[in-house]
Amino acid sequence: MRLTPGLETARSAAAGLAREPAAALLLLAGAATAAGLGASRLWMLLVFAPLFEECVFRAGVQEALLRRSVAPGVANLVTAALFGAVHVAMRGEASAWAVVLPALVVGAAYGRWRRLRICVVLHAAMNAAALAWPWLGALAHLGP
């Protein structure tokens, strides 16, 4: 089965980071440092949350739905919607629904490979990218 270019890129990036944990940690630490986060917040966003949330939502909710013969796309959509609802409830902000789109990408990876490790690395990388986004935007304005 041929993957869409975006999903193939995400899989390749996640697989590369999973093979090179030191590089992944440096990337994540750099993103957090750029965002001005402390070590405990960094640990929460880049290690604990991805590991805990993927265990609950992928290995828990999505896997349970798949084992009950729910269509993979529906299982992914339900899981991503639940993931978003939990984030909205915890943060108390409607903008937290924005996590649904990345959750759909991670869910598609889980549906394809059923490997939790890939999901955890993707989740951590997406959190790192979200942390680094303002910093990367500032770098883009510096020019050559």
Q: Give the model's pLDDT for residue 133.
A: 79
Q: Give the model's pLDDT for residue 3.
A: 52
Q: Give the model's pLDDT for residue 38.
A: 75
- Span 86-107, pLDDT tens digits: 999 999 999 999 999 999 999 9
Q: Give the model's pLDDT for residue 15.
A: 63
Give dist(CA 124, CA 32) in Å, integer.
Answer: 11
Q: Give the model's pLDDT for residue 130.
A: 86
Residue in 117, 73, 49 with CA at minimum distance from that of residue 65: 73
Can you say how many angstroms the Cα of residue 83 is from the centroid of all Cα atoms in its chain?
11
8 A C-beta contact, residue 58 and residue 78:
no
> Rounded to two decimals, what is the model's pTM?
0.74
Give dist(CA 88, CA 97) in Å, integer.
Answer: 6
**Residues lower than pLDDT 50 in the chain:** 1
Core vs surface per residue 36-45: b (16+ CB within 10 A) or e: ebeeeebeeb
Would you put residue 57 in left (φ > 0), alpha (ψ -120 to 50) or beta? alpha
Which amino acid, 137? G
Residue in 135, 106, 112 with CA at minimum distance from that of residue 31: 135
Q: Give the model's pLDDT for residue 100.
A: 98
- The C-alpha R_g of the chain, in whole angstroms, comes to 16
* Dihedrals phi, psi of 142, to nearest 5 degrees: -70, -35
